[in-house]
């Protein structure tokens, strides 16, 4: 059979020896394509189609260059970088506390998880012990954000499969958590909740009651979504057996989070390397058996229930006390003191002008984000700004498995698989 | 012009104008209902600002679409690109022509000052054209509607639209077969394809939903696929193909596809009402079958409208409940399930009808009840297949998998 060469601008072009731009040839071997597809090979050209960067199902500015044989996906090339903001480089010019607003904008569907992760990484670097109340509040922050992130996932995935209604049910519940976030931090999306050594604010009056009310009524929504989708023949047909990843494959691709657990690997940072006293909470890790889209759906659905459980426990044990560490080098003195007390004013000045110096060294801290293992890595040279800041973005690493999951399947399956990975482009591109 | 010819002309023109405007206003109302009903399903309010209860929302949208810029993709085939929405729109309007929407209007004989005398030849049937080919005409006309969609996909010269057009072509042709097959059962029972005859036969016995239960089921599923409604909206699939075949369309050209979709829904619903739910027949009374009168015509028209509206509501409710099929599953359902089922069903109905005729049972309620019994038996088996043992067998846990 004739070999056809398609010229594709892959956006990662370099220049050759003569200084001319190289366009990478996307050699399409007809025989290989026939093997990839299920049915017999039909003579004809393959179609190259751009899904994204502006497409309703790519959940942001992900661009997928898809080669189609009829409707069978022969190969997928994900292109990232449309939302690149250089956060990691920006971080090298900022004090640790100034990084927190940057983290909001990474996984903007779960900003508080990122806030907490950054603060914990910096605290690990500096050797700061946070207060008990702060720990519990951070657990509340993480779990509420797991819930909103999973709700967005659930809603958008059901839209991708054509079921519009669960989307709005999910978003209504998400709105309730956003209201609570607004109460707490004043912002709905970019919360900037944490500070090194504590939080920007204690929870306001009415927050606890609001969250309790949410925990009480929220399972009903999960139940509704469960009953409209989990047993639906069309939904099962679209998700079961689609995008199967075995446990071995999932580990090879370094997947984490619900994706990994759906493949049957019981790895959850909350259980395996507990932080914020997660070992004292009573919750289960849902595990899938086959690693298909349906299992990922079921795992996330169950995680919503488990997160509600954790939230209830956290509310029950929420101790009184300060939220910030009692160390004037780390915690800003109250404004009233800074205006009246000489010593407090000096600390205030020093912190604002010079930041919080970290000891020489490096620190890596990871927590179980909604999308997988979220890790922040700092290298410090002893100044108040990191020399290097690096993020382990779970969606970026999970996204790398997309081509392996969908090649040889139908275009519609690719949409379902892409949805099941749960990416957020702010985090992928950073 | 003879008074008789003038009377014929008058009746035809009035019927055409009335039905055309009712369909178009109905489309607007149904779009409004779709938005309100979806809002109800999704715990929202829906459009409620324009006019009372937001009823004029569709008017506002129509005006907006008139104002919008007409765009042509640079690489589009301009003639076909312009023609495609028209080709989708016209058949959608034509389909209704053969559906009787009320009991016959009494004959009239009156004179007007300048125009002279108008006389009708007997009663006026409340159908635009009582064609001898009957509902075959509807099937033929809806097949033409496919061309509009396929050409829209092709002439846009966009890959998304192209895939959408291809899907539409394959889907609508596949389901037309199942749809036609399901109607053969009706033909067997009526012995005619004229819709007024079909309705008359149902008045003689009972609504065909009972003796042709499974046929109705096949017809309804196919009607959903024919009108490209969820769960069969693969030509559009906003999550895969952006907007499918009408990705590149803007302003009124897009609106025409939109209106065509809804008028197809109205036609399909009216056809379901006429074929299986007695058309304009009022149940539990024979009052409507007597001598024609104006009141009877109006009341039956309302009854017919109600039946159609119920199916439209069903269309809408299902759209906001179910996810969408994958393309191979859609084809699987059409060719490997519905078509064999329809063929087997024809055999069953034909055999039963033959047996009943051989036994000398007169066509009537008893006749229909026997067929209904046969349908119930078959539907039990059908349910067993479709249900995959979830409700009946109980041997397997069904689709739902537990998470450890």
What is the tens place of the pLDDT at every residue in B123-148?
777 887 778 888 888 888 888 888 88
Q: Give chain A's contact residues with B (Cβ, < 8 Å).
A: 47, 49, 55-57, 71, 158-165, 168-169, 172, 228-238, 240, 286-289, 294-295, 298-299, 301-302, 410-413, 415
Contact between B130 and B155 under an 8 Å Cβ cutoff? The reply is no
Which ipTM was obtained for this model? 0.80
What is each CA distance from A255 to A14, A182, A259, A264, B208, in whole angstroms?
30, 33, 7, 12, 57
User: A277 and A154 share a domain?
Assistant: yes
* Local structure of A53: helix, strand or coil: coil
- Does residue A278 lie within any of the structural domains? yes
User: Which residue in this structure is represented by tokens 């698989």?
Assistant: A417
User: A75 and A117 share a domain?
Assistant: no
Residues of A whose CB is below 8 A from B329: 234, 237-238
What is residue B287's predicted lDDT score, i.e. its pLDDT? 73
Pick from A12-26, B137-151, B174-188: least confident:
A12-26
Residues of B whose CB is below 8 A from A46: none
- Does residue B207 lie within any of the structural domains? yes
Q: Is B232 in CB contact (< 8 Å) with chain A?
A: no
CB nearest to A57's CB, from B240, B323, B324? B240
Which of A44, A52, A162 to mutate to probe the B interface, most B CBs <10 Å?
A: A162
Which of A56, A173, A412 to mutate to probe the B interface, most B CBs <10 Å?
A: A412
User: Which residue in this structure is represented by tokens 């040839």?
Assistant: A25
Q: Give how far A286 is from chain B: nearest CA, Å.
A: 6
> Taking CB atoms and an 8 Å limit, are A163 and B403 in contact across chains?
no
What is each CA distance from A397 to A289, A368, A387, B73, in whole angstroms?
22, 14, 24, 38
User: A155 and A171 share a domain?
Assistant: yes
What is residue B186's predicted lDDT score, i.e. its pLDDT? 87
pLDDT band at A151 (very low <50, low <70, confident <90, very high): very high
Residues of B whose CB is below 8 A from A47: 159
Rounded CA gap, A375 and A269, in Å? 11
What is residue A9's predicted lDDT score, i.e. its pLDDT? 46
> Taking CB atoms and an 8 Å limit, are B44 and A163 in contact across chains?
no
Rounded CA gap, B227 and A251, in Å? 45
User: A37 and A113 share a domain?
Assistant: no
What is residue A327's predicted lDDT score, i.e. its pLDDT? 84
Q: Which domain holds residue A313?
A: 87-392
The whole-number average pLDDT for the span A59-65 is 84
Q: Closest-CA residue in chain B for A287?
A: B404
- Does residue A397 lie within any of the structural domains? no
Residues of A whose CB is below 8 A from B38: 164-165
> Taking CB atoms and an 8 Å limit, are B324 and A163 in contact across chains?
yes
The whole-number average pLDDT for the span A231-250 is 84
Q: Closest-CA residue in chain A for B319?
A: A163
Q: Judge whether residue A178 has pLDDT over 50.
A: yes
Q: Which of A8, A48, A12, A40 is nearest to A25 (CA)?
A: A8
Q: What percent of chain B has pLDDT over 90?
A: 1
Q: Judge whether residue B266 has pLDDT over 80.
A: yes
- Does residue B287 lie within any of the structural domains? no
Q: Which of A378, A353, A356 is nearest to A366 (CA)?
A: A378
> Taking CB atoms and an 8 Å limit, are B328 and A410 in contact across chains?
yes
Q: How many residues does chain B have?
A: 404
Q: Closest-CA residue in chain A for B37?
A: A165
Q: Closest-CA residue in chain B for A231?
A: B400
pLDDT band at A42 (very low <50, low <70, confident <90, very high): low
Of the residues A49, A79, A109, which one is the last residue of a structural domain? A79
- Does residue B286 lie within any of the structural domains? no
User: A16 and A165 share a domain?
Assistant: no
pLDDT tens digit string along B324-353? 888 888 888 888 888 888 888 888 888 888
Rounded CA gap, A426 and A71, in Å? 30
> Taking CB atoms and an 8 Å limit, are A47 and B326 in contact across chains?
no
Q: Closest-CA residue in chain A for B161?
A: A49
Number of domains into which chain A is organized: 2
Q: Judge whether residue A15 has pLDDT over 80.
A: no
pLDDT band at B276 (very low <50, low <70, confident <90, very high): confident
- Does residue A415 lie within any of the structural domains? no
User: A62 and A117 share a domain?
Assistant: no
Residues of A whose CB is below 8 A from B165: none
pLDDT band at A159 (very low <50, low <70, confident <90, very high): confident
Q: Judge whether residue A4 has pLDDT over 50.
A: no
- Does residue B78 lie within any of the structural domains? yes
Task: Show the DSSP H helices in A70-110 as ranges.
Answer: 87-91, 100-104
Q: Is B71 in CB contact (< 8 Å) with chain A?
A: no
- Does residue B328 lie within any of the structural domains? yes
Pick from A173-182, A248-257, B50-59, B100-109: least confident:
B100-109
> Taking CB atoms and an 8 Å limit, are A162 and B323 in contact across chains?
yes
pLDDT band at B401 (very low <50, low <70, confident <90, very high): low
Which of A164, A221, A262 to mutate to probe the B interface, most B CBs <10 Å?
A: A164
- Does residue B88 lie within any of the structural domains? yes
pTM of the model: 0.83
Counting Cα atoms < 13 Å in the Cβ hemisphere of A61 gives 11
Q: Judge whether residue A419 has pLDDT over 70.
A: yes
pLDDT band at A276 (very low <50, low <70, confident <90, very high): confident
Count CB neighbours of B48 within 10 A.
14
Q: Closest-CA residue in chain A for B163?
A: A71
User: A47 and A158 share a domain?
Assistant: no
User: A232 and A273 share a domain?
Assistant: yes
pLDDT band at A31 (very low <50, low <70, confident <90, very high): very low
Q: Is B324 in CB contact (< 8 Å) with chain A?
A: yes
Q: Judge whether residue A325 has pLDDT over 80.
A: yes
Q: Give how far B71 is from chain A: nearest CA, Å.
A: 19
User: A99 and A68 share a domain?
Assistant: no
- Does residue A427 lie within any of the structural domains? no
What is residue A145's predicted lDDT score, i.e. its pLDDT? 92
Contact between B401 and A295 under an 8 Å Cβ cutoff? The reply is yes
- Does residue A400 lie within any of the structural domains? no
- Does residue A404 lie within any of the structural domains? no
- Does residue A410 lie within any of the structural domains? no
What is residue B393's predicted lDDT score, i.e. its pLDDT? 39
- Does residue A161 lie within any of the structural domains? yes
User: A320 and A287 share a domain?
Assistant: yes
Q: What percent of chain A has pLDDT over 70?
A: 90
Rounded CA gap, A269 and A274, in Å? 6
User: A100 and A68 share a domain?
Assistant: no
What is residue A17's predicted lDDT score, i.e. its pLDDT? 55
Q: Judge whether residue A104 has pLDDT over 70.
A: yes
- Does residue B288 lie within any of the structural domains? no
Q: What is the CATH number of the domain that holds A133?
A: 1.10.645.10
> Taking CB atoms and an 8 Å limit, are A231 and B400 in contact across chains?
yes
What is residue B388's predicted lDDT score, i.e. its pLDDT? 55
Number of domains into which chain B is organized: 1
User: A98 and A70 share a domain?
Assistant: no
What is each CA distance from B229 to B175, B236, B373, in whole angstroms?
13, 9, 31
What is each CA distance from A32 to A3, A231, A409, in whole angstroms?
11, 37, 14
The whole-number average pLDDT for the span A126-149 is 91
Order of strands, sheet of A47-51, starting from the edge strand that comes earlier in the sequence: A47-51, A63-69, A72-79
Of the residues A43, A62, A79, which one is the last residue of a structural domain? A79
Rounded CA gap, B262 and B24, in Å? 9
- Does residue B392 lie within any of the structural domains? no
Q: Give how far A428 is from chain B: nearest CA, Å.
A: 21
User: Which residue in this structure is represented by tokens 């033909």?
Assistant: B187
Q: Which domain holds residue B263?
A: 3-281+298-387
Rounded CA gap, B286 and B276, in Å? 18
């Amino acid at each position: 059979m004739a070999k056809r060469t398609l010229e594709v601008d892959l956006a990662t072009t370099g220049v050759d020896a003569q200084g001319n731009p190289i366009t990478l040839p996307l050699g399409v071997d007809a025989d290989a394509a026939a093997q990839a597809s299920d049915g017999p090979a039909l003579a004809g050209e393959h179609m190259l189609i751009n899904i994204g960067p502006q497409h309703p199902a790519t959940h942001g500015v992900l661009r997928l260059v898809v080669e189609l044989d009829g409707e069978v996906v022969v190969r997928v090339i994900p292109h990232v970088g449309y939302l690149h903001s250089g956060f990691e480089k920006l971080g090298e010019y900022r004090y640790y506390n100034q990084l927190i607003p940057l983290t909001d904008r990474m996984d903007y569907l779960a900003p508080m998880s990122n806030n907490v992760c950054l603060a914990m990484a910096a605290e690990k670097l500096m050797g700061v012990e946070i207060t008990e109340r702060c720990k519990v509040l951070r657990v509340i922050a993480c779990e509420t954000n797991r819930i909103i992130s999973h709700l967005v996932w659930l809603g958008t995935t059901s839209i991708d499969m054509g079921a519009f209604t669960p989307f709005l049910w999910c978003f209504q519940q998400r709105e309730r958590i956003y209201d609570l976030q607004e109460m707490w931090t004043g912002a709905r999306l970019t919360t900037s909740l944490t500070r090194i050594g504590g939080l920007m604010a204690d929870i306001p009056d009415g927050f606890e009651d609001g969250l309790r009310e949410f925990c009480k009524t929220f399972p009903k929504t999960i139940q509704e979504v469960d009953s409209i989708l989990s047993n639906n023949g069309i939904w099962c047909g679209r998700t079961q057996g689609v995008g199967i990843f075995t446990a071995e494959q999932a580990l090879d691709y370094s997947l984490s989070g619900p994706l990994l657990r759906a493949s049957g690997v019981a790895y959850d940072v909350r259980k395996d390397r507990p932080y914020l006293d997660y070992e004292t909470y009573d919750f289960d890790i849902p595990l899938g058996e086959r690693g298909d889209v349906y299992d990922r759906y079921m795992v996330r659905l169950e995680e919503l229930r488990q997160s509600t459980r954790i939230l209830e426990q956290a509310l029950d044990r929420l101790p009184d006390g300060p939220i910030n560490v009692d160390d004037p080098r780390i915690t800003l003195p109250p404004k009233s003191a800074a205006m009246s007390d000489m010593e407090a004013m000096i600390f205030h000045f020093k912190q604002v002008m010079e930041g919080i110096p970290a000891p020489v060294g490096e620190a890596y801290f990871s927590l179980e984000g909604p999308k997988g293992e979220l890790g922040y890595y700092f290298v410090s040279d002893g100044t108040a700004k990191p020399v290097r800041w690096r993020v382990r973005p779970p969606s970026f690493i999970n996204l790398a498995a997309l081509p392996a999951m969908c090649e040889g399947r139908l275009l519609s399956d690719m949409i379902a698989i892409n949805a099941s990975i749960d990416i957020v482009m702010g985090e992928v591109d950073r | 012009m003879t008074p008789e010819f003038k009377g014929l002309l008058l009746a035809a023109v009035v019927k055409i104008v009335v039905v055309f405007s009712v369909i178009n206003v109905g489309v607007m109302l149904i779009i409004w209902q779709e938005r309100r009903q979806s809002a109800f399903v999704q715990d929202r309010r829906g459009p409620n600002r324009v006019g009372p209860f937001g009823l004029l929302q569709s008017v506002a949208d129509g005006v907006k679409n008139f104002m919008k810029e007409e765009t042509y993709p640079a690489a589009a085939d301009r003639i076909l690109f312009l023609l495609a929405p028209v080709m989708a729109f016209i058949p959608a309007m034509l389909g209704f022509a053969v559906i009787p929407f009320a009991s016959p209007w009494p004959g009239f004989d009156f004179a007007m000052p300048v125009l002279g005398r108008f006389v009708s030849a007997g009663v006026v049937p409340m159908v635009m054209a009582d064609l001898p080919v009957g509902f075959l005409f509807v099937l033929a006309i809806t097949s033409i509607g496919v061309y509009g969609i396929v050409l829209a996909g092709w002439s846009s010269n966009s890959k998304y639209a192209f895939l959408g057009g291809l899907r539409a072509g394959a889907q609508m042709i596949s389901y037309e077969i199942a749809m036609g097959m399901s109607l053969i059962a009706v033909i067997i029972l009526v012995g005619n394809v004229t819709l007024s005859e079909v309705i008359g036969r149902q008045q003689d016995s009972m609504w065909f939903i009972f003796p042709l239960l499974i046929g109705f089921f096949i017809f309804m599923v196919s009607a959903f696929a024919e009108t490209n409604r969820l769960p069969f909206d693969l030509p559009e699939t906003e999550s895969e193909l952006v907007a499918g075949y009408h990705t590149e369309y803007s302003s009124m050209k897009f609106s025409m596809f939109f209106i065509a979709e809804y008028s197809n829904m109205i036609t399909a619903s009216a056809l379901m009402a006429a074929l299986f739910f007695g058309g304009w027949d009022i149940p539990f009374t024979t009052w409507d079958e007597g001598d024609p009168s104006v009141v009877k015509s109006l009341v039956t028209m309302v009854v017919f409208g109600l039946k159609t509206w119920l199916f439209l509501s069903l269309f809408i409710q299902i759209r906001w409940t179910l996810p969408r099929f994958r393309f191979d599953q859609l084809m699987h359902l059409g060719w490997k399930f519905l078509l064999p089922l329809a063929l087997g069903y024809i055999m069953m109905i034909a055999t039963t009808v033959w047996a009943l005729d051989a036994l000398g049972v007169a066509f009537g309620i008893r006749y229909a009840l026997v067929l209904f019994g046969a349908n119930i038996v078959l539907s039990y088996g059908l349910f067993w297949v479709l249900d995959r043992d979830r409700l009946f067998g109980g041997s397997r846990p069904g689709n739902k998998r537990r998470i450890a």
